Structure 1
Amino acid sequence: MDNNNGYDNIKDVSWENVESDKAKIKFINSKRRSNMIRLGKVFCFILVAAISGGVSGAYMSSKKEATKIYTPNNQVVVESHESTGKTNSQNTSQNSITEVAEAVSPAVVGISNKAEDYFGVQDLGSGSGIIIDSNGYIVTNYHVIQGADKVMVKLSSGKILDASVAGVDEKSDLAVIKVNAKNLPIVKLGDSSKVKVGDIAIAIGNSLGGEFPGSVTAGIISALNRKIEYNGVIYKVIQTDAAMNPGNSGGPLCNIQGDVIGINSLKLGTDSNIEGMSFAITINEAKNIIKSLMSNGKVSRPDLGIGGESVISQDNKIQGIYVQQVEKNSGASAAGIKPTDILIELDGKKVKSISDVEIILEGYKVGEKIQSKIWRDGKVIETEITLSEIK
């Protein structure tokens, strides 16, 4: 009995100790595992939050940059980005317009047209000019210096110089004048054939004469290759909504890179209801004219040597230019063309007006020959005309 009781007592004690130890071990292991799970959850939450925040931040940052908007002169321009997040090379921000103004303005001058009469020297008008050669050559509009006895130039520095007329071309409304100066700042002539509708356009000039020198206005290119008739001459011009006023004539129209793409020449109408329509002679059309004026003092253009007006027969079968006069010693005179003839075709193209003839002759030079057809006494006569120079 004693042995059994002793055994039972020992067994009971051992079992209780084992159970107690097991309980203690279980309690300790459960607590450690719970702590590790909590730490793991916290770490995962922080990791997920960090990744999500980084991705969201990068997305919002790129989205914000891709929709950055500038509004120079109320023109809304959206800055575009590549997939790398880099800004497109064409920067059309307000800062770019400022840079153009700073680069080009030193080469823009004010021009005063003066005439002498019984009462002394009188101001006939004023305009702007562009320094195109560091030795003092300046291009402007012909109408800016038309009729001048004396031409004065005011540099951006404020210095005033006398100018001489190097050459004029009334037809294109361009003129080149020269001042006695060296190392002057010059502009860069661009390529107007690359201009597109919607491009930024910046006009610089002396708005309203000397009262507002160096005025800068900005807008967009509204249209290309507009044909404007002015004083009987057809001009091919760039249309822009950049504000221009008397005094801007002869100044530069620039692109956002600061290249001159046109020479401001005409503003449509005197009607106060017309807004946002200004014009500039394309620089590509002006380049050869400027070169000729600098070297020869004039521009050599081909001409038929006739004067006339548009006519059309009652049955609409005959349409062309009724020849009213033929210049002596002209190509038309040598070809046998007479007054009352009707010019109906030139260079294989039908002609209805003098402007049609001018457009065709743009592709020819003085001395070249051109085929023509005239209608005379009910017959069509073909003849070849040697182009003479416009007098």
Structure 2
Amino acid sequence: MNDDNIKDANWENVKDDQAKIKFVNSKKRSNIKKIASLFCVILVAAVSGGISGAYVINKKQASKMYTPDNQMLVEPKQDKSEVKDKSENTKENSITEVAETVGPAVVGISNKSEGYFGLQDAGSGSGVIIDSNGYIVTNYHVVQGADKITVKLSSNKILNASVLGTDQRSDLAVIKVDAKNLPVVRLGDSSKVKVGDTAIAIGNSLGEQFAGSVTAGIISALNRKIEYNGSIYKVIQTDAAINPGNSGGPLCDLQGNVIGINSLKIGANLNAEGMGFAIDINEAKGIIKSLMNSGKVSRPYLGISGESVVSEDDKIQGVYIEQVEKSSGAAVAGIKPTDIIMQVDGKKVRDASDIEEIIESHKVGEKVEAQIWRDGKTIKVEVVLSEFNGNK
């Protein structure tokens, strides 16, 4: 053995019969130390790097998450096409765009009547252009009793208008101006409207001074039945403000479709805030068409007026007849005041609106059977439906 290679020796106390010298190879031990040291350095560097990287990344993410321009970072990941469609729909459905699209087709209507000093303003309202050739829909009460009607377009041009037809029962009227290529509204489908949908009302609130006013709210209720002056109106209820002058203007959805014709008169006697009403556009379409074509609405009519009654034992319930119109189907059939109509067409009726709803499913000239309670007896009569004059 070469003595030059012996660098170190360890001495141990052992028994005599086991005594011997153990030699350690210093070169081998040195290599192990180097490997261990290198491993420690790598481990420390990795841990330090990981902590530092996590800190930097978290700091970056935190700063981006709370910046308004980076809201997409906190939203679920979406397909690019979905994000694009959502963005485009938001633009298309904005209230601003509805106002810009529908506004030009909304007009101001001035009702003038003869007085001691000539023509004087008797009232004002709004209207919507439904045909580019000058056909305009408004409320009956806006043009009622007018000796002269003028229309102010969104361009501020003022034109004389003539009344084509009115229907007091629905509070609708169609007037016409001599003009071409006018902007028009798009009539929607009110059957697709849901409670809670956004509703936008456009019109001349409080007159021409506030022309083109836009108010927004939600659809509060659908298929409301409001009674006014003996007529039953089927309306849409909204909390969008409908002020004097808004009558006759459009109630729109977020796509700019007209879903109703605003009417301040309907429900005015309720005297409640946040309750505006519009005539359902699906109810109005047929009426508008009839007014444009013939100037009137042909609808069946029983010819009675009365109120709902119920006996103490609940056995007799129906409509107590207060008045029967002369020459009407009811009069010809022998129905008279003090009768109580309990059924029409085999369906029980509780009030006048129930009767109207049944009659509306028929045509003028058709027959319906009515069950009547008279003098303690129940009798049945057949009534031929007459034509209702909506302007009575």
TM normalised by structure 2 equals 0.81
Partner of 1:74: none
Cα distance in 2 between the residues matched to 1:105 and 1:187: 9
Residues 192-207 of structure 1: pairs in structure 2 closer than 5 A: 192-207=190-205
The code of the aligned residue for 1:205 comes to G
1:39 and 2:37 are equivalent in the alignment: no
Q: 1:376 to 1:264 in 2, by over 3 A?
A: same
The code of the aligned residue for 2:78 comes to T
Residues 208-227 of structure 1: pairs in structure 2 closer than 5 A: 208-227=206-225
Cα distance in 1 between the residues matched to 2:61 and 2:180: 59
1:141 and 2:139 are equivalent in the alignment: yes
The code of the aligned residue for 1:16 comes to K
2:105 to 91, 107, 112: 107
Contact kept in structure 1, 2:132 and 2:184, CA below 8 Å: yes
Cα distance in 2 between the residues matched to 1:368 and 1:245: 41
1:16 to 7, 31, 42: 7
Q: 1:92-113: CA deviations, max 9, x gaps?
A: 7998111111111111111101
The code of the aligned residue for 1:172 comes to S
SS at match of 1:135: coil
Partner of 2:326: 327
1:291 to 289, 308, 313: 289
Q: 1:101-137: CA deviations, max 9, x gaps?
A: 1111111111101112341110001000011111111
Q: Cα distance, 1:60 vs. partner?
A: 8.2
Partner of 2:355: 357
Cα distance in 1 between the residues matched to 2:254 and 2:65: 30
Q: Cα distance, 1:55 vs. partner?
A: 8.6
1:249 and 2:247 are equivalent in the alignment: yes
Q: 1:43 to 1:82 in 2, by over 3 A?
A: closer
Cα distance in 2 between the residues matched to 1:233 and 1:298: 17
SS at match of 1:266: coil
Q: 1:83 to 1:297 in 2, by over 3 A?
A: farther
Cα distance in 2 between the residues matched to 1:184 and 1:210: 20
SS at match of 2:101: helix
Q: Cα distance, 1:307 vs. partner?
A: 4.6
The code of the aligned residue for 1:259 comes to N
1:29 and 2:23 are equivalent in the alignment: no
1:125 and 2:123 are equivalent in the alignment: yes
Cα distance in 2 between the residues matched to 1:316 and 1:22: 112
Cα distance in 1 between the residues matched to 2:274 and 2:236: 13
Percentage of matched positions with identical amino acids: 61
Partner of 1:188: 186
Q: CA RMSD in A?
A: 3.6
Q: 1:202 to 1:57 in 2, by over 3 A?
A: same
The code of the aligned residue for 1:103 comes to T
Cα distance in 1 between the residues matched to 2:57 and 2:373: 85
Q: 1:165 to 1:256 in 2, by over 3 A?
A: same
Q: Cα distance, 1:379 vs. partner?
A: 3.6
Q: Cα distance, 1:283 vs. partner?
A: 0.9
Contact kept in structure 2, 1:152 and 1:162, CA below 8 Å: yes
Contact kept in structure 2, 1:372 and 1:384, CA below 8 Å: yes
SS at match of 2:220: strand
Partner of 2:13: none
SS at match of 2:169: coil
Cα distance in 2 between the residues matched to 1:335 and 1:284: 33
Cα distance in 2 between the residues matched to 1:253 and 1:50: 54
Q: Cα distance, 1:353 vs. partner?
A: 3.9
Cα distance in 1 between the residues matched to 2:53 and 2:134: 70
Cα distance in 1 between the residues matched to 2:77 and 2:236: 35
The code of the aligned residue for 1:365 comes to K
Gap runs ≥5 in structure 1: 1-6, 69-80
Q: 1:178-214: CA deviations, max 9, x gaps?
A: 1111111111111222222221111111011011000
